[in-house]
Structure 1
Amino acid sequence: MDDDADTRATCLNFQFFKLALRDARTIDDRINTRINGLRERSSVSSPSDFRGKCQSLKQELEASEQSRQTFINTCIAYVEEEVQKKREQGQPVLVAETELRLMRSELNVEQILRDKSMRTFSDKCR
């Protein structure tokens, strides 16, 4: 199975979707620990080393956020397509519509996580 088929299968199973997001959000969950580790290791070397590693961590964080955003939007598109197919076939769409609303709400969760991570980053990675 190719990546697109895997992604589609993950998106169309809401439990798998949530698990994939949880796994993808570990970088945000561990931002404090990672920055503290950078600080401890860099205190031995130099402050400029710390700033460089912080910048690298920020780039990693931004890439992860972009990847999750793309994943969520891709899943929303797949589920919208499924809802449309079900409507055309006269099948019930309530469950799929509910999952679609929940997926859209994950975009708000992403914004909250992004704000929190950037605030933490700004406070600790100076």
Structure 2
Amino acid sequence: MEPERSSTRRREEDLTLVCEDFSVFQRRLKDARLVDDRLVYAINTNVPTESFISTENADDQCHKLQQQILQAQADRRWLITSCIRIAEASVSRLKAADSKSSTSSHVSASVRKEMSKVRMMQSELNVEDVLEDRAEKVLHDRCRIPYGTRGS
């Protein structure tokens, strides 16, 4: 059990480091979004056209791509919501410190900065919605995977 516990602790520390600095958070999201960015290319190279459909199993290729996309989307959404929770907890701590402090101008600036970070992270959820809709449309158009099968 010890290795599992230390692995979890390292993951939490890594998550905290990613969430503390918004630029690191954005870089991590950018890297994680490469799967979606390359979806059309992956479909064009992995899913055969009608003339080659007998030599390749298009359904299997589409299903594999769909599973990769769904996993990447779930991982990104988890990262974003986890970072939002961490940032909101930081805002709460700073607000509590602000109410106790006599030098509130420095703490208030920190609160505003953290609240701004929370709003920017929340806007990334909207970006995720757009990316998920786009991926679903591409998969539907090319693979004929029905709309609304997200997560199945």
Q: TM-score when scaled to structure 1? A: 0.92
Partner of 1:79: 87
2:139 aligned counterpart, secondary structure: helix
Structure possessing the higher relative contact order (Cα contacts under 8 Å, 6 or more residues apart)? 1
Structure 1 segments unaligned to the other structure (5+ residues)? none
Give the letter for the 2:120 counterpart.
Answer: L
Partner of 2:120: 102
Structure 2 segments unaligned to the other structure (5+ residues)? 1-8, 99-106, 145-152
Give the letter for the 2:18 counterpart.
Answer: T
Corresponding pairs, count: 126
Displacement of 1:117 in angstroms is 0.7
Check conservation: 1:27, 1:61, Cα contact below 8 A. Answer: yes
Q: TM-score when scaled to structure 2? A: 0.77
Displacement of 1:88 in angstroms is 1.0
Displacement of 1:46 in angstroms is 2.8
Give the letter for the 2:141 counterpart.
Answer: D
Displacement of 1:89 in angstroms is 1.1
Give the % identical residues: 30
CA RMSD of aligned residues (A): 1.9
2:57 aligned counterpart, secondary structure: helix
Q: 1:120 aligns with which of 138, 144, 149?
A: 138
Q: Distance in 2 between matches of 1:47 and 1:98?
A: 53
The answer to whether 1:27 aligns with 2:35 is yes
